[in-house]
C-alpha cells in the first residue's frame, strides 16, 4: 500500500483510509474488528472516525464507533501503528453531544468533545482532529454548483480565530497532534490558513470533502488551494453512498443497503444523477471492471489525492475497495471518465 505525505505534518498515511461510520449501527463490534484486522494486514495505517458516528446520527448510538475502535486498540495493542483521525461536530441543534444543549465550535464544546473521544478511543492523543462541518450556515459539503442567495451570516457565529485558538490549546496539551477541516469551502480553508499564519493556532493539515465521479467540485477551486498550501485531500464517499457500485441499478433496493434501511441518500438522487450512474457503470464494464472497483480506483489514483476514505459493511466490499490501490489507472480510463463528466458535470455536489 502506497504511503503519502499528510500535509506538512511529517506523517505518512496509506492511499486508502479505513472509514468507520457503519460500526455500531450496520456493523457489529466483531465486524468492525475484522475490518480493522484486514485493513492493517493490507497495509492501511489510517483510520477515520467521528464523535457523531455511527451514521445516521442518533442519541442512542452516538459514540459507539469510537468505542469499537478503542476496544480494538486495547485488544490488539496496535494503537501506535495507526494514524488516527476523528472529528468534532460544528453547529448543531442536536443536544445529545453536549449533555442536553446545542453544540458550537467554542472552547467548552470542543474540549468536551475531545475528552469524550479520547476516553472512548482509549488513547492519550488523536493524530488528526477535524472540524466535521463548519459552524457558519453554508450548503452541506460547502461546494455547491449554484446558490440562490448569498450565504447567511449569523449574529452569534464563533470567529474562526477563536475556534482555531482552541485547537492550539489542544495541540500544546498533547491531546491532538494535527488539525484538519471537513465539508469546507475554499474561503473557509484560506481563512483558517490566514489565521494560523498570524500565529493564532495550528496549520490546516487536511481537508476531508466528498469526491467521486459524480462530484468533482473539489477540482474547481479547492484543488489549487490545497496544492499551493500543502493541504491534503482526504476524500469521502468515493462510491456516492453506494450508487456508483451499481447496486441500485434499475430501481433495485437490496436488503441491508443504506437506502432501504435509512433512506438518507438524497444527495445522490438529484436530477441527472441516474443518467450519470448508468454511464459510469457502463464505462467501468467496458474496461472489464466492476463499477465499485472502477469508482474507487478513480478516486485513489487522482494526482491530488492523499487518501481515499473507503467504507464497507462486508469484508468482501472492503477487499474490493482495498484492491483499488493496485489498479493501474490508464490514460484511456481517464479520457473515458472525462468525456462523461463533460456531458453530465457534477450532478451530486
Domain boundaries, the chain: 3-243+291-327
Q: Work out the average pLDDT over 148-157.
A: 86
List phi, psi (to 5°) of 263.
Answer: 50, 55
Q: What pLDDT shows up at residue 310?
A: 98
Q: What pLDDT shows up at residue 167?
A: 98
Parallel, antiparallel or unpaired: strands 204-210 and 305-310: unpaired
Residue 143 has pLDDT above 90, yes or no: no
Q: What pLDDT shows up at residue 146?
A: 87
Rounded to whole angstroms, the Cα distance separating 325 from 114 reads 32
- The residues annotated as belonging to the active site are 53
Residue 163 has pLDDT above 90, yes or no: yes
Give pLDDT tens digits for 214-249.
Answer: 999 999 999 999 999 999 999 999 999 999 999 999
Q: What pLDDT shows up at residue 141?
A: 87
Q: What pLDDT shows up at residue 21?
A: 98
**Domain 3-243+291-327: which CATH number of 3.20.20.100, 2.60.120.260, 1.10.150.120, 3.40.50.2300:** 3.20.20.100
Q: What pLDDT shows up at residue 148?
A: 82
Amino acid at each position: 500500500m502506497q504511503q503519502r505525505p499528510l500535509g506538512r505534518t511529517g506523517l505518512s498515511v496509506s492511499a486508502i483510509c479505513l472509514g468507520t461510520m457503519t460500526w455500531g449501527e450496520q456493523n457489529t463490534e466483531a465486524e468492525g474488528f475484522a475490518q480493522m484486522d484486514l485493513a492493517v494486514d493490507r497495509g492501511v495505517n489510517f483510520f477515520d472516525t467521528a464523535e457523531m458516528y455511527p451514521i445516521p446520527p442518533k442519541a442512542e448510538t452516538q459514540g459507539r464507533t469510537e468505542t469499537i475502535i478503542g476496544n480494538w486498540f486495547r485488544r490488539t495493542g496496535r494503537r501506535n501503528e495507526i494514524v488516527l483521525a476523528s472529528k468534532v461536530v460544528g453547529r448543531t441543534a442536536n443536544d445529545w453531544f453536549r449533555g442536553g444543549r446545542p453544540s458550537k465550535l467554542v472552547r467548552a464544546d470542543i474540549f468536551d468533545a475531545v475528552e469524550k473521544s479520547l476516553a472512548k478511543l482509549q488513547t492519550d492523543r488523536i493524530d488528526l482532529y477535524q472540524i466535521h462541518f463548519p459552524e457558519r450556515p453554508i450548503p452541506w459539503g460547502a461546494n455547491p454548483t449554484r446558490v440562490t442567495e448569498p450565504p447567511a451570516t449569523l449574529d452569534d457565529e464563533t470567529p474562526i480565530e477563536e475556534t482555531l485558538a482552541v485547537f492550539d490549546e489542544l495541540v500544546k496539551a498533547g491531546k491532538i497532534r494535527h488539525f484538519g477541516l471537513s465539508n469546507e469551502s475554499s474561503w473557509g480553508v484560506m481563512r483558517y490558513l490566514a489565521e494560523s499564519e498570524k500565529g493564532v493556532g495550528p496549520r490546516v493539515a487536511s481537508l476531508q470533502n466528498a469526491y467521486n465521479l459524480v462530484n468533482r467540485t473539489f477540482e474547481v477551486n479547492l484543488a489549487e488551494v490545497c496544492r499551493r498550501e500543502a493541504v491534503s485531500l482526504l476524500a469521502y464517499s468515493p462510491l456516492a453512498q453506494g450508487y456508483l457500485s451499481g447496486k441500485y441499478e434499475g430501481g433495485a433496493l437490496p436488503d441491508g443497503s443504506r437506502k432501504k434501511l435509512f433512506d438518507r441518500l438524497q444527495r445522490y438522487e438529484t436530477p441527472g444523477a441516474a443518467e450519470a450512474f448508468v454511464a459510469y457503470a457502463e464505462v467501468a464494464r467496458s474496461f472489464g471492471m466492476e463499477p465499485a472497483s472502477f469508482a474507487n480506483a478513480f478516486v485513489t489514483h487522482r494526482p491530488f489525492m492523499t487518501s481515499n476514505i473507503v467504507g464497507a459493511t462486508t469484508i468482501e466490499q472492503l477487499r474490493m475497495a482495498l484492491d483499488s490501490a493496485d489498479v493501474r489507472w490508464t490514460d484511456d480510463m481517464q479520457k473515458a471518465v472525462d468525456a462523461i463528466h463533460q456531458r453530465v458535470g457534477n450532478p451530486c455536489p
